[in-house]
Amino acid sequence: MPSLFRFLMIVAIIAALVYGVMLALAEFVTPNQTEISERVPLDLPTPGQPVNPQ
């Protein structure tokens, strides 16, 4: 039975460390916000038709 308690304590400690790291990342790291624009082609090939390389 002591080995079960030791295993559960190790799992609980690892879970607490993972939770603490996730909390620290969420609180202290701010993402960079940038505007992204990408051109989208209007004439997409339909399935079954060959694509003409240009």
pLDDT in tens, 14-33: 999 999 999 999 999 888 88
Predicted TM-score (pTM) of the model is: 0.54
* Mean per-residue pLDDT, 22-49: 83
What confidence tier does 9 reach under pLDDT thresholds 50, 70, 90?
Answer: very high
- Is the pLDDT confidence value at 50 over 70? no
What integer pLDDT is reported at residue 3 of this predicted model? 94
Tell me how far the alpha carbon of residue 4 is from its chain's centroid: 33
Tokens of 47: 């399935």
Cα–Cα distance measured from residue 45 to residue 51, given in angstroms and rounded to the nearest whole number: 7
